[in-house]
A and B are shown apart, each in its own frame.
Chain A
Amino acid sequence: MRESKVLGLSLTKLTFLLFAAAIIVYPLIWTGGFAIGAGINVGAMAVGALGFVLLIGYAHQLALGQAGFSLIGGYCSAILTVRYGWDPFSALLVALALSMTAAYFIGLPILKLRGFILAMASLAFQLILVYIALEAGAFTGGAEGIPGVPKFGVFGVTFSTDLAFFYFTWLLVILSIVLGLNIDRSRVGRSLKAIAASETAAGSVGIDITIYKVQMFVLSAGLASIAGSLMVHYLRIMTPNIFGFVFALTLITSVIIGGLASIWGGMIGAVVVVVLRENLREFEIPLWEVVIMGALTVIVLILFQRGIAGFIGDLVSRIIPPPPNLNDSATDPIVAEPFYNISSSGGTGALLKVDGAQKNFGSLQAVDNVSCEIQPNMISALIGPNGAGKTTLFNLITGHLPLNSGQIIFDGVEIDKMLPHQIASIGVGRTFQNLQLFDNMTVIENVMCGYHRLAKAGLATVSLGLPNVVAEERKIRDIAVQHLAFVGLADATEQSPSALPFGHQRLLEIARALAGEPKILLMDEPASGLNESETEQLAELILRIRELGTTVLLVEHEIRLVMGLAEHIIVMNHGSKIAEGPVAEIRADPEVIAAYLGTG
């Protein structure tokens, strides 16, 4: 994401500098064990909170009980250091590995749940862990817990002063924020945002939703575990109720107050919550802590959904001008050279073959034994009256609905049992009738998402910020600009999709689909909502898409577009195919006329 520059530095770098300065300066101003201790507490929570930001804010998985992994991390650290004399840092690493492994196996089934039910299941998980901790006395020390946890140290070097521990903790916070920022600005971050905006559209560009959810679950479990280990060395004891429901609530409220959608949000929230708590204690009204946290949560969600971080972000963007759009007016879309070229698949066979497709909804035969072939490098259209089954057929092809019987073969591959994102990743592109844009990203980021199936960066490489990831990002960005120029949106790169006029939003969706260099582009009522001149421009765009080598299959109601443009038309009615052929034939076909006018 391109950023505005202040004093020659990008906003992020600037924030980082201020942040680092604040950390260094803090203990020099607020000396005294208490302030430092509070600082360590905040730091540990900030790490855990980042995990929540990634899980809840980015991946939209409301697994409220993720603090259960703090419990696992805490006990692991405590047991290894107290009972077996391990070095605390090594113990932390082992706890991390343990938590992340457990998270993988728990995540796979639990992430099939969604929303409130996921939240409850996750809470149940955490509470069960707390009870196990209480009951398994021999292992966990029961209600008494494990006292005598040593001070933190790294490979034999113990941090005898709290100050050292403070700096180490905040070093971890910085590293985790760097991790978070790397994710945010990468293919992974984009995919997460895409999933949050529209799972259907995310699948259509090849994003495997399950993998990303599980990755965030495991990552946040790891961060929770680190937080747990740090807390335990700060408190010097581990008991079952340290990481109970109250801790979960504290983390969640900090994340909400700080800002769910921002990597900085977790840390800001942790600071606010702890400062609040200490102040309340000062004024001797500790009981009000819970009420105020609850009230703040509600108020923030209703009024400033993006929390303090979002509020600050808005303020900043009002003061500092946004980065300029890439103005590529030099590129006249009409003469833009085709920049990718699908070589015609070797064989002479059909690109897409539907063979006896059957889809029933109960007794309704929505698609009844439909067979057809789509030849490559042609513009084909699928038409028919309302309720004919066109959209159902489309959804069968893209994998959003399973077949009852029959086969669908694309480019020689049987796709009828594949998931939508798998089908997308072998070159089936799609646009949607009701526009499924990723409103939470800029125009250019939307198109960059389209490139997903051709890119490689994954969570591991992205977190480390490896140079080939950076290079790939730059390449994807350039390609996205080209696609935007191709559809005529080159001057809108940094805008929000919802700021575009409707016709341009349709073009954006097409650009996104093209970014995946699809062999076939399925367009679902692309002319819907367009006026005559926009429809004409759309027709030209479709012709130019065909020039790139992409085969086009349209479902469309705007009959003039279909009749003027399509080389091959398939007509459906009541679930069956009733005609197939070129325009003139179709228009004169009595059965087609009857189907539309109702005389049949």
Chain B
Amino acid sequence: MADLLQIDTVSSGYGRTEVLHEISMEIGEGEITAMIGANGAGKSTLLNTIIGTVTATAGQITFKDQDITQLGTQRIVQQGISLVPERRQLFGTMTVEENMLLGAYARTKEQLKGLEADLEEQYNLFPVLLERRRQLAQSLSGGEQQMLAIARARMSHPSLLLMDEPSLGLAPIMVEKILSFIQNLRDAGATILLVEQNAQAALSIADTAHVLETGRLTVSGSAGDLLHNKRIQNAYLGGEDGGTEGLESRIRQMANDYDRRRSLSE
């Protein structure tokens, strides 16, 4: 499997804050790659850096052998990457169909010829959207909105689909539906980079997974391996079995010292 996207020692952040520190990873074609980690770890920042709304301060991002690090969002979308943003970011006061058509905005005249067919394809995949095509996007339920966000992103014919926490704010049943749907996409040949805080959900459908902790990649491997790795639990809830060496242990030592001193002086 060729690597569709290569990220090479990329650092990135907002203003003075550096959120990502020298990240390197690859996205394989036709796979679901999951990026998990606690909130604040930098997962969204990574997606934003790829899609160009944040510029990397160091490193290089290569897509289909093209350096896209300094490109603007418009060009990157045209190159074939599309982002399903966190919390959907739909055009609430526009209809479902208008939202989808906007997804195709970046396509060239050539590509626009297949527009009707594409719309049909999306409606086939999401029949509920067909039902609601003339309704305002904001009147849809959470799960339907997520589906619309995905359909909209797919309208630009992306070779790489980035998804930012699709399970956020959805009821567990909906989450299941969306997940199985993402799997179907992959089975049909799509390449997906999935960012999730919900580790269990992400690992259950991914092929490859990476763990992001405070801006650095700490664990990588096949999703199956990671699923049962205690390291994941530690990444979220701390408590390294590393004994006295870890950050948490050192902090606890310090706290104990202070507590001791306090009880001595009382």
Binding site for B on A (CB under 8 A): 385-387, 435, 498, 502, 505, 525, 528-529, 531-532, 535-536, 539-540, 543, 546-547, 557-565, 587, 592-593, 596-599
Contact = CB atoms under 8 A, between A and B. Distances in A.
Contacts of B2: none
A559 B39 contact: no
B127 interface: no
Contacts of A435: 16-17
Nearest to B258: A543
Contacts of B201: 598
B251 A598 contact: no
Nearest to A388: B39
Interface stretch (B25-33, B115-123, B185-193, B242-250): B242-250
B255 A598 contact: no
Contacts of A505: 16
A141 to B, nearest CB: 54
A565 B41 CA distance: 20
Contact of B169 (A387, A546, A557, A598): A387
Contacts of A525: 40
B39 A557 contact: yes
Nearest to B235: A559
B181 interface: no
A16 to B, nearest CB: 38
B214 interface: yes
Contacts of A563: 237-239, 248, 252
Contacts of B167: 598
Contacts of A561: 247-248, 251
8 closest A-B pairs by CB: A564-B251, A598-B198, A598-B200, A560-B248, A557-B40, A386-B39, A563-B238, A559-B238
Contact of A560 (B19, B40, B246): B246
A536 B253 CA distance: 11
A535 B247 contact: yes
Contact of B237 (A529, A543, A547, A593): A593
16 contacts: A386-B165, A386-B168, A498-B16, A536-B251, A539-B254, A543-B258, A560-B248, A560-B251, A563-B239, A563-B248, A564-B249, A564-B251, A564-B255, A565-B252, A587-B239, A597-B236
A284 to B, nearest CB: 51
Contacts of A536: 247, 250-251, 254
Contacts, number: 104
Given A385-B198, A543-B254, A564-B238, 7 more contacts: A435-B16, A529-B13, A561-B251, A562-B238, A563-B237, A565-B252, A587-B239
Contact of B17 (A502, A562, A587): A502
A587 B238 contact: yes
Contact of B233 (A385, A529, A597): A597
Contact of B18 (A386, A529, A599): A529
B38 interface: yes
Say whether chain A's binding surface is mostly helix, strand, loop, or mixed.
helix
Given A502-B16, A599-B200, A385 B248 contact: no
Nearest to A563: B238
Nearest to A386: B39
Given A386-B197, A557-B38, A592 B16 contact: no
Interface in B143-194: 165, 167-169
A79 B40 CA distance: 66
Which of B39, B169, B249, B251 has the most A CB atoms < 10 Å from its CB? B251
A532 B248 CA distance: 10
Contact of B232 (A385, A559, A597): A597
B199 interface: yes
Contacts of A540: 254
Given A386-B197, A560-B238, A532 B247 contact: yes
A528 B41 CA distance: 9
A43 B246 CA distance: 69
A338 to B, nearest CB: 12
A505 B196 CA distance: 30
B237 A559 contact: yes
A548 to B, nearest CB: 12
A277 to B, nearest CB: 43
Contacts of A597: 198-200, 232-233, 236
A597 B203 CA distance: 10
Nearest to B257: A543
A547 B246 contact: no
A562 to B, nearest CB: 7
A446 B10 CA distance: 34
Contacts of A532: 247
A539 B233 CA distance: 23
Nearest to A364: B169
Nearest to A561: B251
Given A557-B39, A563-B239, A385 B197 contact: yes
A558 B214 contact: yes
A565 B13 CA distance: 27
B252 A564 contact: yes
Contacts of B248: 559-561, 563-564
B250 A564 contact: yes
Contact of A592 (B169, B202, B237, B262): B237
Which of A532, A560, A562 has the most B CB atoms < 10 Å from its CB? A560
Contacts of A599: 200
A502 B247 contact: no
Nearest to B201: A598
Contact of A387 (B13, B168, B251): B168
